[in-house]
Structure 1
Amino acid sequence: MQIHGNPSLVEDYKYCEGIIKHYSKSFYYAFSTLPQEKANAVYAIYAFCRQADNSVDENPTSASQLVALDHLTDELNRFQQRQEKDLPLWRALRDVFNRFEMDIQPFFDQLKGQRMDIHFTSPDTLTDLEEYSAYVAGSVGKMLLPIIASGTNRDLTQSAVNLGIAMQITNILRDIGEDHLEKDRIYLPTQEMAAFRYTKHELSKGIISDNFIALWESLAMRAEELYADFIDSSAGFDEDSKFAVIASARVYRGILNSVRKNNYDCFRKKNYVSKLEMVKIAAEASF
């Protein structure tokens, strides 16, 4: 089955590629190094996850968010029954499911994670935060496994989930100010905040104290443990996929260092990994 033999499918994948290029330069940089068939599959999966994110992020009220998410859930149910809409995303995903031994459940898990955001309450413990992260981001790791670990007999499910959790914690540590001020969400576990004596009032003022830094670093260290566990398991991934998955993990982990370089200012500064830094980090992944 050749994609280039189907002009419509080529355009469908270009549509998905455009979405990942627009929303995540770091993911695109890493996964565009995959063989074309695998890269296309990643683009389609990312496009689905972005649509799930946007169902929540681009609607102003919980009611409209639920309507959008219910609509996407209905479309996924139709896809499961092989009755999907004739649209670029679903045509591309159907091709992915035809080419790889995909599991539909992680796609439903992703939507469950989005519903947790709509009915949001701050996590009480680090365990609660990781459970949420497993749904909203660990599910993505499970979606990708049939593509990047198609030739192994090892069960790499937990490693893939760990990477998703690490990336979600990284997102949270990068976006503390934006999440609180624009979305009225605090993802920092309440027990961790209490343990490090950092209050919601201080958070609302964007105060970067020694206590805040200690709290931030405690969560960053947990993310870095999970990144390290994932990289240690990378021998089980397909040879043609190892560079991409290791590079994506290291580039995303680099966001934590960008926050550190900006003196932990995740309230007023945009923390990201520059293209030059991506190249340097990715070069390390090839050794």
Structure 2
Amino acid sequence: MKEPLDRMLEKDYLYCEEVIKKHSRSFYYAFSQLPEEKAKAIYAIYAFCRRADDTVDMAPTAAQQRKNLDRLEHELTLFEEDRPVDNPVWRALTDVFERYPMNIEPFYHQIKGQRMDIDFTSPDTLADLEDYSYYVAGTVGLMLLPILAKRHTQEATESALTLGIAMQLTNILRDIGEDLKENNRVYLPNDILSQENYTIEDLKNGSITAAFIRTWEQLASRSEALYDHFKKDIHLYDPESQLPVLISANVYRGILDAVRKSKYNCFDKRNAVSLVEMDKIRRETKQFLKA
């Protein structure tokens, strides 16, 4: 006997919620404070992005990665044609697309970003890195925007892109050691490394030198400038979205300070913002929005 649709959909959203709870404590902490309908929609989009990420990171070979992404892109095409694959993520996303004025293009661009990781080459410049960051993270901002802001202005679109890129730069600065050891990827731009006379061999040795710190801080300064720019645009979001969105930005920005507190050890340590610090950020963010 088939379950009633609403009960099945509730289970689908619970599945997506478990995905975000497992993989991103900071995002879950922030977005769980949205009204329930909006929070569920965020969880479904996160579950799609997590799957896109895992198709590359969990596959043992480039051939398998391409095969996995081809399958995911085929499923996305079926979804666009109103023939979604019967699994929790696609069922939840079907509901999201019915409730909100979603755009399918960022979902395809997210998959393109994952393909860039398969055929990876280190970026030559910061502009190259930000172009990559658009595909893997700016797209997420565009996916979430119809849920978080009813008014789809160009200003709001640029704000969502800005936040996504800022967060991706933060990810890169947090995961330098992990990206190198597990995936043989160096996202630090070649021109900055050359300018600071810091080599790939230095990276492989986990050398935290003055040159490394200057390199790291150049990218951190850019990320923080983007966070500052986004913060000025918080009024573009729905009133009930402003606190959760700004908390997510401030918590993620806090990762940069966590790396600094650990004396820039991002080679054999995954720096994070503690729950105590998250609560402090939440209180400070509420005060900022009241001011």
TM-score by length of 1: 0.97
CA contact (8 A) 1:154 1:236 kept: no
Q: What is aligned with 1:258?
A: 258
Q: Secondary structure at the match of 2:240?
A: coil
For 2:151 and 2:219, locate their aligned partners in 1 and report how far apart those are by CA, in whole Å. Answer: 34
Structure 2: state its 5+ residue gaps. none
1:225-257 superposed Cα distances (whole Å, 9 cap, x missing partner)? 001111110011000000010000000000000
Q: Secondary structure at the match of 1:156?
A: helix
1:242 paired with 2:248, answer no
For 1:63 and 1:154, locate their aligned partners in 2 and report how far apart those are by CA, in whole Å. Answer: 39
For 1:152 and 1:143, locate their aligned partners in 2 and report how far apart those are by CA, in whole Å. Answer: 12
1:44 paired with 2:59, answer no
CA contact (8 A) 2:66 2:118 kept: yes
Q: What is aligned with 2:137?
A: 137
Change (3 A) 1:152 1:58: closer
Q: Which runs of 4+ in 1 moved over 3 A?
A: 151-155
Letter in 2 for 1:275: L
Q: CA deviation at 1:151?
A: 4.0
Letter in 2 for 1:77: T
What is the aligned residue count? 284
Q: CA deviation at 1:153?
A: 4.7
Q: Secondary structure at the match of 2:212?
A: helix
1:110-162 superposed Cα distances (whole Å, 9 cap, x missing partner)? 00000000000000000000000001000000000000011465631111111
1:16-73 superposed Cα distances (whole Å, 9 cap, x missing partner)? 0000000000000000000000000000000000000000010011000000000000
For 1:66 and 1:140, locate their aligned partners in 2 and report how far apart those are by CA, in whole Å. Answer: 21
Q: Secondary structure at the match of 1:155?
A: helix
CA RMSD of aligned residues (A): 1.1
Q: CA deviation at 1:5?
A: 7.8
Q: What is aligned with 2:232?
A: 232
Q: What is aligned with 2:53?
A: 53
Letter in 2 for 1:201: E
For 1:60 and 1:158, locate their aligned partners in 2 and report how far apart those are by CA, in whole Å. Answer: 36
Letter in 1 for 2:85: K
1:260-283 superposed Cα distances (whole Å, 9 cap, x missing partner)? 000000012220001111111111
Letter in 1 for 2:158: Q
Change (3 A) 1:120 1:153: closer
CA contact (8 A) 2:20 2:43 kept: yes
Q: Secondary structure at the match of 2:239?
A: coil
For 1:154 and 1:195, locate their aligned partners in 2 and report how far apart those are by CA, in whole Å. Answer: 36
Letter in 2 for 1:84: P
Q: What is aligned with 2:28?
A: 28
> What pairs up with 1:80-159 in 2 under 5 angstroms?
80-151=80-151, 153=153, 155-159=155-159
CA contact (8 A) 2:146 2:152 kept: no
Q: What is aligned with 2:222?
A: 222
Q: What is aligned with 2:67?
A: 67
1:173 paired with 2:173, answer yes
CA contact (8 A) 1:35 1:240 kept: yes
Q: What is aligned with 1:182?
A: 182
Letter in 2 for 1:23: H
For 1:268 and 1:5, locate their aligned partners in 2 and report how far apart those are by CA, in whole Å. Answer: 46
Q: What is aligned with 2:285?
A: 285
Q: What is aligned with 1:18?
A: 18
Tell me the percent identity. 55
1:73-92 superposed Cα distances (whole Å, 9 cap, x missing partner)? 00000000000112111110
Structure 1: state its 5+ residue gaps. none
1:149-199 superposed Cα distances (whole Å, 9 cap, x missing partner)? 114656311111111111111111011111111111000000010111111
CA contact (8 A) 1:48 1:89 kept: yes
TM-score by length of 2: 0.96
Letter in 1 for 2:270: K
